[in-house]
Structure 1
Amino acid sequence: MKALLCPEPGKLRLIEREAPKVGAGDVLLRVRRVGICGTDYHILGGTQPYLSYPRIMGHELGAEIVAAPAGSGLTAGTTAVVIPYLSCGQCRACQRGLTNCCRRVSVLGVHQDGGMTEYIAVPAQNVIAAPELTLDQAAMVEFLAIGAHGIRRGAVRSDDRVLVVGAGPIGIAATIFACARGAEVTVMDLRQDRLDFAQRELGAAHTVKAGPEAKAKFEAITEGEFFDVVIDATGHPPSMNAGLFYLGHGGRYVLLSIVAADIAFPDPEFHKRETTLIASRNALPDDFAEVMRAIAAGLVPTSVLASHRATMAEGADAIPVWARPETGVIKALLEV
């Protein structure tokens, strides 16, 4: 079968490899769509901190079930969503239902080979039947679930003022689910096209271009009180450090992004707000279920999120281009 391999930073190559070995508790999937994530661009660029090469990328998967274990409730021919975080089931976090925080988690496409391939075998507990979704929609559930999980971690309410910093795919997902809770959402980004998209398509109440004027604009928007919840989705240490200063007193600061760097705040500023600082890692099955319900109900504009696409055979040329900001990608999909 064919697969798209990243042998080292900066290179992608279409290869032939053996079909996957299917364990007793595994589901054999025919991969049909692969969403391209910021993680994939970091892997290609050599800046992903939890990875060794060579690696087959791809963890945002829309697939078709080929074969499933008896008693799994999964049926051949059904569209499926994949939860790409393979948890051990034994550590204390797993035993408490926090499988996203598993001490020995292995993420498809990062810690082990992923879904940029024709077939993949995945444990049955990581496969969700999704007959109500299109293949494109199934491939978008995972990144949307990360945003939904961050909004749940931040306990966003309808009376909250929420600032989402960074309007890439994860920031877009956070915006969608903050708006779905009835919050008043402001989005900040360096790119005007992303800000226009957030207001036009996602329901953001306000948008602010990042820069020296931003804090004064936030002060005006919030009558000097700033935000109840700040969500950082930038993966940019200076932005993550600055986010505290946009947070109102008694507020919650959610770090959706992760970087190989130290994040620091001045303690007096942190304490005077009685800040709640929250990390948000991956997503839980409940988040996947929430996203799938929202898509099925027409609450997520998946047709406009899928802005670019190519076949897997074209991926080696397309993915480096999509990584460039000027390409204007919202979410790119590989068709397998």
Structure 2
Amino acid sequence: MKAVQLVKFGEPREALRYTDLPDPAPGPGDVLVKIEAAGVCGRDLVVRKGAFPHVKPPVVPGHEGVGKVVEVGPGVERDVVGSRVFLSAIYDGTCDYCRRGFENLCRNAELLGESRNGTYAEYVVLPARFVHPFHGVDPRVAVVATCPLATAVYTLRHVDVEGRRVLVVGAGGTGVYIAQLAKVRGGEVYISTRSPEKAATLRQLGLEVAAEGDKDFDVVIDTVGSPTLERSLKLARRAGSVVVIGNVTGERASLSPALVILRQLKVLGSMAFRPWDIYEALDLLKRGLIKPLYAEYRLQDAARAHEDMEREMVVGRAVLIP
């Protein structure tokens, strides 16, 4: 099969190699999925740079994928063959976090594209219980639901935005969906970006682009991380909430505790999403409440997709088509 491998850590054209790999075969309890669309997540860029010690090249990157089940292994009912599915992270379902409904925090979670081959390929194998059938949404659109929009759904479970001034810091692949969803949920939403081109697109969506002097937000959702976190704390009003979901550079942040203490801020982290959040995301897309924003690339152009994302040229998601 054709695939893109992470062969080393570094710049996109050095680290990502378009190559031929043996066709994978499903083992007991597995399914083989023919990928129709794979999303390029900001986390993929951090992985490529070597920020996660558990990732050992060579590995096929990518954890966002939509496709069709084409083969099953022993122990899997054949009626799933032909189903269009989205993929989720692999969790054990038995640890203390899973038992409390926090599968996204599973102690033994396994993410495609890191500890096992992922979705930058024509085919991927994973256990059958981590593929989820759906219908009624084009694969190129549906892949938007498998991480960025599902992450938005989960993030906004943590804070009430109705009737509140909300700032989304960063208009990357997740930020544009959080901003849209916060508006659907009744927030007065602003979003920050350094890109004039992105700003124009965001205004077409009916979103307010934050101006330099804007501050005193009830809720600030930071999708970037270290480069913006201190400023995000300063832009929240006293007794406001700051939700941190981004870590695009993988670097540590240096903060003064006084920013949190004297302003009596509530600082929350939000980690990805659960599989059922994807179904809610798909429903939002079906109902036309969220506009899917993505740019298509051929699978062999994965390195260019990474470059364009780093240059802030992609509004929404970069989607690879095998």
Q: TM-score if structure 2 supplies the norm length? A: 0.89
Q: How does 1:34-183 map to 2 (within 5 A)?
A: 34-47=38-51, 50-67=54-71, 75-83=80-88, 85-141=89-145, 142-153=147-158, 155-183=159-187
Q: Could you tell me how far apart the structure 2 residues matched to 1:167 and 1:72 are? A: 42
2:228 alignment counterpart: 239
The superposition leaves residues 257-316 of structure 1 with CA deviations (integer Å, 9 ceiling, x where unpaired) of 1254443443333123332211111101232121011011111212xx122x2322x325
The superposition leaves residues 173-212 of structure 1 with CA deviations (integer Å, 9 ceiling, x where unpaired) of 21121111011101112112222222212x32x2125xxx
1:257 to 237, 242, 246: 246
Q: Provide closer, same or farther for how the CA distance between residues 269 and 36 of structure 1 changes in structure 2, counting only shifts above 3 A.
A: closer
The superposition leaves residues 218-257 of structure 1 with CA deviations (integer Å, 9 ceiling, x where unpaired) of 14xxxxxx1111100113x131122111111221110011
Q: Provide closer, same or farther for how the CA distance between residues 171 and 91 of structure 1 changes in structure 2, counting only shifts above 3 A.
A: same
1:6 alignment counterpart: 6
Q: TM-score if structure 1 supplies the norm length? A: 0.85
2:277 alignment counterpart: 287
Q: Could you tell me how far apart the structure 2 residues matched to 1:31 and 1:166 are? A: 29
Query: How far 1:78 moved relative to its partner?
Result: 2.5
Q: Provide closer, same or farther for how the CA distance between residues 327 and 189 of structure 1 changes in structure 2, counting only shifts above 3 A.
A: closer
Q: How does 1:169-318 map to 2 (within 5 A)?
A: 169-201=173-205, 203-204=206-207, 206-208=208-210, 214=212, 217-219=213-215, 226-235=216-225, 237-258=226-247, 260-302=250-292, 305-307=293-295, 309-312=296-299, 314-315=300-301, 318=304
Identity of aligned residues (%): 26
Gap regions ≥5 residues in structure 2? none
Q: Provide closer, same or farther for how the CA distance between residues 112 and 160 of structure 1 changes in structure 2, counting only shifts above 3 A.
A: same
Q: Could you tell me how far apart the structure 1 residues matched to 2:153 and 2:77 are? A: 26
Judge conservation of contact 2:76–2:128 (CA < 8 Å) in 1: no
Q: Provide closer, same or farther for how the CA distance between residues 239 and 80 of structure 1 changes in structure 2, counting only shifts above 3 A.
A: same
Residue type of the partner of 1:144?
L
The superposition leaves residues 107-152 of structure 1 with CA deviations (integer Å, 9 ceiling, x where unpaired) of 1112321011222122233212111111112211122111221122
The superposition leaves residues 87-121 of structure 1 with CA deviations (integer Å, 9 ceiling, x where unpaired) of 12232111212010112221111232101122212
> How many residues were matched structurally?
315
1:28 alignment counterpart: 32
Gap regions ≥5 residues in structure 1? 220-225
Q: Could you tell me how far apart the structure 1 residues matched to 2:290 and 2:77 are? A: 29
Judge conservation of contact 1:164–1:174 (CA < 8 Å) in 2: yes
Judge conservation of contact 1:55–1:112 (CA < 8 Å) in 2: yes
Judge conservation of contact 1:32–1:62 (CA < 8 Å) in 2: yes
2:319 alignment counterpart: 333
